[in-house]
A and B are shown apart, each in its own frame.
Chain A
Amino acid sequence: MTRRILILAASALLMPAGVARADEKLAFLIPHLFGQTGLVVDSEARLPNGQTHSAHFNSAFQAEFTQFNVALASQLTGLPIPSPASGFTYTLDPTLGLFNRSTKSFGPLLSERAETIGKGKVSVGVHYQRFTFDKIEGVDLGQVSAVFTHDNPAPGGRDDVVTTDNAIDVSVSQLTGYLNYGLSNWLDAAVSVPLVQTELDVSSVATIRRIGTSSNPAIHFFRDASGGFGTSRSFTSSGKATGIGDVVLRLKARVTTLGPVAVGLGVDGRLPTGDEMNLLGAGAWGVKPFVVASSTGKTFSPHATVGYEWNGKSVLAGDPVAGTKADLPRQLKFSGGAALAVTSNLTLALDVIGRRIFDARRLSPTTFHALDGRTTFPDISFVQRSENELSGAAGFKFNPRGRLLIDANVLFALDNHGLRDKVTPLVGLEYAF
């Protein structure tokens, strides 16, 4: 893990944001997987003017798989600013003139609490997270089946389809540095700067299904190595990009106390500093006001947060190939959980983290029915809808000495919605001045 962090940091320092394939940004890998003009199969069929033609096949996979880019960008926008530990604050016992730690808890890891760090206090940290995405809308990314249909499908030759078995291997590593500063006893300012490395490998095996031309393989074929009428062809594309992701600025105020519960208001501003075409950032600004309530007990400290995120237009939500932008979906984000101070040096943090993404294009597994009325193949389509995504998080903050904290956490999917990683590990260090 340490080695990977070092490599990530060194790559960011030594090389500018770039991809292994100099001519291809990561956002183009799926749209261009089958070539710049899409999936074209060979044909010796004669057109009415006597010329041969190359048959062009279309699919939602290639035309609409921008949802994948949006989902990935959306993961990058979900990058949380870790809640700084305020376990190092002390309150005076006035009748003895002695100081006691206000709480044994070091606070949550991936969610927020209302307590502020205190005037003039500084907390800095670095967190490393690695996502290796497994599924999108419950569909295994290693086995995405999609059917390509002929231009203007019709019974006969245009009844043929090309089925594809696609495998998408995507991972995102984030090394996030953050700084939290107490502007006053009730107001904190924070900034988080992520270094992101995105790796994307896409492969596809395309197979011609001669539904309407079974007697004549010369109409639709992939020219094989021996010059014959092949049925299948493999396509692969891969790339890697490293660079600064989207910087997030935060203001958070502890506004009131309702009995034992502190209530805070905050706002996150996300700047489009990451190269969206290389899937390092969302490509759009975002603003997320949020309200947070928390109670800090001696050992048990519950907390809950809800926020609404508005996003600007991003090419990832539009068409990266055409360069047109569309609104990145709005999100309602919520989380709740508790920090449990097991000892004065160890706090366990448990959270449920969720979000509702509004009016986004969502992949939906379907069954393709060929025009012959008999043949079916597994396929995908895209529908516009709002959806909830729910994750759980469990981790700890350990104080080995002084005001140094070692953080560790696992984030795990609680449902199959969106682009999901079964388990995402996080390790980090925090230090409060």
Chain B
Amino acid sequence: MVGVRRSWVLAGLIASAAMVVVRPAAAGYDLAPESPVALPAGDLSTEAAGIRKTLEVYVRAVENKDVQLFRTVKPNLSDEEEKRARAAFKSVQSQVVRINVLSLDVRDGHAIVKVARRDTLNGSIVSSFPQTFQLAKEPSGWAIQDIGR
């Protein structure tokens, strides 16, 4: 009886470990575990990887409260916006950002990226909201020109 129970426990542990190691991708999304930015599945623009990289840097800038890094992906940041960004970074203790890209519309060196974003502030305050990034391709790569709802 005890042996049977141990077997079940062992089987349960192995199954749990397998679920952790082999995480199935969420339906319709290419979930790269290490990336905070998930792209939709299917045929994507050849620019998708570059756009994703820019959004990943944006996320890293927000999470690390790094205004300089923020400026590298949004070079048109005004002085007033920079001031607001510094104030925002100061007012949160931590911020974790996860972005699911809903659609990518790339045309003539410009891209409109619609996303669903989920932020966790200070470890427990969760906020989910839609967002639209407008990007432009520059010699150094894709840069954010505008962020809106």
**A-chain residues with CB within 8 Å of residue B127 when the two chains form the complex:** 90, 92, 99
CA distance A192 to B117 in the complex (A): 37
Tell me, in angstroms, the Cα distance from A69 to B125 when the chains sit together. 47
Classify chain B's interface size: 20 to 34
Residue of A at shortest CB range from B92?
A99
A: number of interface residues (CB 8 Å):
16
B115, chain A: closest CB distance, angstroms: 10
* Contact B129–A96 (Cβ < 8 Å): no
- Assess the B81–A95 pair: CB atoms within 8 A: yes
Q: How many A-B residue pairs lie within 8 Å, measured between CB atoms?
A: 53
Query: Are A90 and B62 in contact (CB-based, < 8 A)?
Result: no
Given A402-B122, A403-B122; A99-B95 close (CB under 8 Å) = yes
Question: Does B85 make an interface contact (CB < 8 A)?
Answer: yes
What are 29 sample pairs from A and B whose C-beta atoms fall under 8 A apart? A88-B125, A90-B91, A90-B92, A90-B121, A90-B125, A90-B127, A92-B127, A92-B129, A93-B88, A94-B131, A94-B147, A94-B148, A95-B81, A96-B85, A96-B88, A97-B62, A97-B117, A97-B147, A98-B84, A99-B92, A99-B95, A99-B121, A100-B84, A100-B87, A100-B88, A101-B91, A344-B90, A402-B122, A403-B122
Q: Which of A88, A90, A98, A344 contacts B89 (CB 8 A)?
A: A98
Q: For the complex, is B64 an interface residue (Cβ under 8 Å from A)?
A: no
Q: A94-B148, A97-B117, A97-B147 given. 7 additional CB < 8 A pairs?
A: A90-B121, A90-B125, A95-B148, A96-B147, A98-B89, A402-B93, A402-B122
Complex contact A96–B84 (CB within 8 A): yes
In the assembled complex, the Cα of A99 lies from the Cα of B89 at a distance in Å of: 8
Smallest Cβ distance from B86 to chain A, in angstroms? 10
**Chain B residues with CB below 8 A from A101, complex form:** 91-92
CB distance from A96 to the nearest CB of B (A): 6
- In the complex, the answer to whether A99 meets B147 with C-beta atoms within 8 Å is no
